[in-house]
Chains A and B, each alone.
Chain A
Amino acid sequence: MPGSVAIVGVGQTDHRSHRPDVNGREMIYEAVQRALLDCELSINHIDAIIIGNMDHFESINYVDTWSVEGSGAIMKPIMKVSTGGTTGASVAIAAYYHVASGLFDRVLAIGWEKNSESDTTGAIITCSDPVWDRFSYSGAIPSLATEASAYMNQYGVTQEDAARVTVRDRGNAVNNPHAHLRKPVSIHEVLASPMLAYPIKLLDICPRSDGAAAVIFASDGIAQRITPRPAWIKACSVRHTYTWFGDVDYKQGLVSLQRASAEAYLRAGIKSPADELDVAELYLPYSYAGLKWIEDLGFCARGEGAGFVEDGHTDIAGKIPVNPSGGVLSANCIGATALLRVGEAALQVMGKAGPRQIPDVKQALATGFGGCFWSDVLILGSGRP
């Protein structure tokens, strides 16, 4: 049986489009220091470290070795976990595995990226198969745009429906001092923004940010001594499906997220997610995902995402508030992005989310998305499992 594990500390940088004042290890240090301060631990208390990013964005390999002065890993066990866009959730889940195994009591998970250091689209293309996919592939935006085109065709969803997701998340980001983009936008501004790749416009897609996140996991018995209200890991689930873009069957929804969330709900004893979850921090890299993927999460039925959002159910005061942090549409330091979802969900459970706090959160959902339509899911709760 795995031991119970809780998140006890969360730290993040103030995310920006460009941080020429720091190199990677210095930026990592900022997030680690904030996480340690958050739970009043010193680096000496940390038993092991999991770190992740995507090497090709900075073209510097082996962050587990070259960043140790910033991560605090000198003379400690450290390993790199890198799974594309899901990296941040994967480092969190790997940290959970470390503590749940009983071998480590306090484990630090770090995700980071300096997207300003390369052409993000060019770098992402290097994840695609060089023989088959790389010639026509054009990075994350058009592969999401193709998903959107198929979804719009299937359910009659409009560009205006999707714009409501951007308006919600960018509006929420005003309450998050760490977000990269903190200016609210209107539906009209989303619709009038430049078309990048039909049907995705500039304001439908996440920014590219420089930033880092650090989250500290602790074992049962120790977590309660560190903080009076830790965020317990109730369930986590990983589903990585395909590596070939051509294997994705768009008509089936985001299958990896359906399967991962179903398993996580089962473990956490959740039957009606929209009713039983108090908040969700979702890895929604573009607006259309905020319609389609909430169907795959079971918040509403297939094809009903647009109405569910339009009716306000995902707003701050709604049935299941989504992305009070402003989400990925407001800050996207890619290797940190999914860890920020986990960290923000933890802050909500711990009651430490400041101006973006949802009242009385007992159960929170965090997701990661990446690779070739892959998904990671975590459920956090205030009660020790």
Chain B
Amino acid sequence: MVSTELGYDQLLSIAFSVPMPYEWSVGVYGSLFFHEIMNHNRFLGVRCPDCNKVYMPPRRLCGPCFKELDELVVLPNEGTIEAFSIVNYPFVDPNTGEQRPIPYTYGYIRIDGADTIFSHIINETDTRLIQVGMKVKAVFREKELMQGNVQDIKHFEIVNP
């Protein structure tokens, strides 16, 4: 008889670290949003005719009204911090398979004229210098480096209070 007893340090595991490629559709409204950034350094939103809410980024559907949307509105590249967190712990970024650089500030920003909030990076990691309610402004990538994705916005920076 072989014993079923086994020491903890004898237990085996199998590692897996192979990338799995995907390709995600951005859709018409999302593509228009990124073209607007590339061409005009500003944002697009979309208004729901039923509840009047302005969604930014624009989307095809208003969930609460269950309604298709088509009234695009131009929005400025400025807004207000609604909430934020300074991320200070290491983790694997599934976008890259690498550790994401830390610390960085994850911000929820309400773009002026929008009713939803937009998540992105704010380039301030000192808790003494950042507060909910501060005005921020988008800093865009150089036009020739833009790729039509959310990283065409480099980050948001606090506008001098």
Contact = CB atoms under 8 A, between A and B. Distances in A.
A245 B118 CA distance: 8
B66 interface: no
Given A131-B24, A150-B83, A250-B82, A197 B116 contact: no
Given A133-B119, A198-B86, A138 B150 contact: no
A121 B91 contact: yes
A149 B132 contact: yes
A141 B89 CA distance: 10
Contacts of B87: 138, 141-142, 196-197
Contact of A122 (B8, B57, B91, B133): B91
A242 B64 CA distance: 9
A41 interface: no
A60 to B, nearest CB: 10
Contacts of B144: none
A141 B102 CA distance: 14
Contacts of A137: 106, 119
Interface in B75-97: 82-89, 91-95
A138 B119 CA distance: 11
Contacts of B11: 20-21
A246 B116 CA distance: 5
Nearest to A153: B132
A21 B149 CA distance: 44
B95 A135 contact: yes
A200 to B, nearest CB: 7
Interface in A107-158: 119, 121-123, 125-126, 130-139, 141-143, 145-150, 153
9 contacts: A119-B92, A123-B94, A134-B95, A136-B120, A143-B85, A150-B82, A150-B132, A246-B108, A246-B118
Interface of B: 6, 8, 11-13, 16, 22, 24, 26, 30, 56-57, 59, 63, 82-89, 91-95, 100, 106-108, 116-121, 127, 131-133, 149-151
Interface of A: 20-21, 59, 119, 121-123, 125-126, 130-139, 141-143, 145-150, 153, 194-200, 242-248, 250
Given A21-B8, A136-B107, A146-B108, 13 more contacts: A20-B12, A121-B92, A131-B149, A131-B150, A132-B57, A134-B94, A135-B120, A141-B85, A147-B83, A150-B83, A196-B88, A246-B117, A248-B117
